[in-house]
Amino acid sequence: MKIKGFLLCLCAVIETCKASVITIATYNLWNVMFNWDVRKQYIARKLSQFSFDVAAFQEVRSHRRSSWSQLHELQELLPSYKWLLYQSVQEVIPPKYGAPSGWEMEGLGILSRLPITHHALQSLVQDSRLDKNKRVVLHANVSLSGGKSFNVSVVHLSSDRRQQCSNVAQILNHLKDHTTACSVILGDFNTYNDYEWPMLALQEGKISSINKCYISLQQYASLEKVQSYVDVWKQANPAKQGYTFSNMPKPGFESRPDRILVSDGCFSIKSSQLAGFGSEYKTMFVNKVIKSRYRSVFESGKASYYAFSGSSCYFDCGPHGSCRCGICVDGGNKRNCPLPNCSECSATLFKQFMVLAAFTLYLILNCLYTILKCLHILKTMSSNCDNLFNKLFFKCEKNIRRKWWLYICCPFYRLPIICAIILNVVFLIGIFCLWQNIFKETLTTVNAIIPEEFNPSDHLMVTGQLMII
């Protein structure tokens, strides 16, 4: 009985330890850049691979007229994560020529398989002339088994250094008054390599007079120590830089804006990893990327046919690409064209595509029917070589009246089988050459992929495995 009781206690301890170990992640989704329908599959796969409990996201797009967001689409791929929290922050500036409706709002969000008991939104003071974007913090309380809980604060700080300082002070003051004992601050801090002062203020948990943020911080926070935080990546990987931006061939990784900070003395840091490298994404999804580009061009051609006017892209293609027919193409950023003025997806080209597609399908069905008929003859007349040879190469179909519909559908029906097959193949080759000739410019555009497109984001995902002490 004593041994049994001991084993039960041991199992209870093990289960408690398991429940206290949590995996968290932060990821800048890069809004709807470059084939979101493909990228979301990779992102969901990586999140599932790390088996995260709570993940925070930045640059999350949503529709203006509904609550549907990119996180809802990720949740469809990750149904075990029942708790979704999203807060739109501002309307994004549309592309130069205007874009199709949808994905007009941008904000922050959380996906969790642990219960989110309550949440709050903290607006940050906007005191920068350089950064006009609205900045907020999304706070959430996450419940653990055994009555434990911890606070998660998702940030996407300003790119302006002065505003970073003042906003960090506001965050510290808010957490001092509203958070639980255990707290996690994570997200895109927009940190510069030569200006770590806002991050140092968070890590020290106090407003030091030697901190270059001192003047800005003094306005919003007291000089007393609030709560110090530990940088998870640096604690777990002290000898590694851990750069997370920009995940691009050029200029390559150059800074570490994406971080996970945990309140000191509350968590034991087990590990921290980076995920979302472009080389891996390209290897796994290159074919899907190309298919997605073809689909975008087709949709743009359809929009041109129905007289849609404006840009076909939901995003800016950046300094290395131009938006043409809903996709970004290389050759600089001076080749943008609004619909219906793009020659690669014009209304005329769309009509030609539909006619050629119908005719191609017609020939393929003819060819398949002829091949099936040939196989049937081979099966039924295999014992009589003379009749078989005659049937395949010389004999024509005479009883056509009873199968007039077949004669209309299959114009080579009366010809010998081998002749019908040869003619079908010749016509298919001709159609293929016609496709190549008419849609040469379109094919060139689809294959003009800029290197950035083979990345799941311009940021890397940062993960951390923690144990609540």
Tell me the per-residue pLDDT of 371-408, one tens digit each, with 9 for 90 and over.
776 666 555 655 555 454 555 554 555 554 555 555 55
Task: Classify 98 in phi/psi space as left (phi over 0), alpha (psi -120 to 50) or beta.
Answer: left
pLDDT of 59 over the 90 cut = yes
Which is more confident, 221 or 67?
A: 67
Phi, then psi, of 92 in degrees rounded to 5: -80, 155
pLDDT at 13: 39
Two tokens, residue 250: 């050029």
Phi, then psi, of 139 in degrees rounded to 5: -100, 140
Two tokens, residue 224: 């007393």
pLDDT at 295: 93
How many percent of the chain have pLDDT more than 70? 81
Give the range among 35-44, 166-175, 307-316, 365-374 with minimum mean pLDDT: 365-374
Nearest to 233 by CA among 202, 205, 272, 201: 272
pLDDT at 408: 58
Distance (Å, whole) CA 92 – CA 395: 70
Which is more confident, 414 or 290?
A: 290
Residue 251, Cβ density class (10 Å: 0-12 exposed, 13-18 middle, ≥19 buried): exposed
| Of the ranges 35-39, 161-165, 360-364, the best mean pLDDT one | 35-39
Domains and CATH numbers, the chain: 17-283+456-468 (3.60.10.10), 356-447 (no CATH)
Find how far residue 80's CA is from the centre of its chain: 19
pLDDT of 212 over the 80 cut = no
Distance (Å, whole) CA 365 – CA 347: 27
Q: What is the mean pLDDT of the chain?
A: 82
pLDDT of 187 over the 90 cut = yes
Distance (Å, whole) CA 430 – CA 15: 68
Taking CA atoms, 35 is separated from 210, 228, 240, 252, 455, in Å, by 46, 40, 32, 21, 10
| Of the ranges 91-95, 345-349, 424-428, the best mean pLDDT one | 345-349
Two tokens, residue 291: 């298919």
pLDDT of 288 over the 70 cut = yes
Across the beta sheet with 267-275, the strand order is 83-91, 105-112, 54-62, 21-28, 461-468, 267-275
Task: Classify 30 in phi/psi space as left (phi over 0), alpha (psi -120 to 50) or beta.
Answer: left
Q: Are 293 and 345 in contact (CB under 8 A)?
A: no
The mean pLDDT value for 11-37 works out to 75
- The DSSP output letter for 95 is P
The pTM assigned to this predicted structure is 0.82
pLDDT of 95 over the 70 cut = no
Residue 193, Cβ density class (10 Å: 0-12 exposed, 13-18 middle, ≥19 buried): exposed
How confident is the model over 407-447, as pLDDT tens digits?
556 665 556 666 777 777 888 888 888 888 888 999 999 99
Two tokens, residue 265: 């003395």
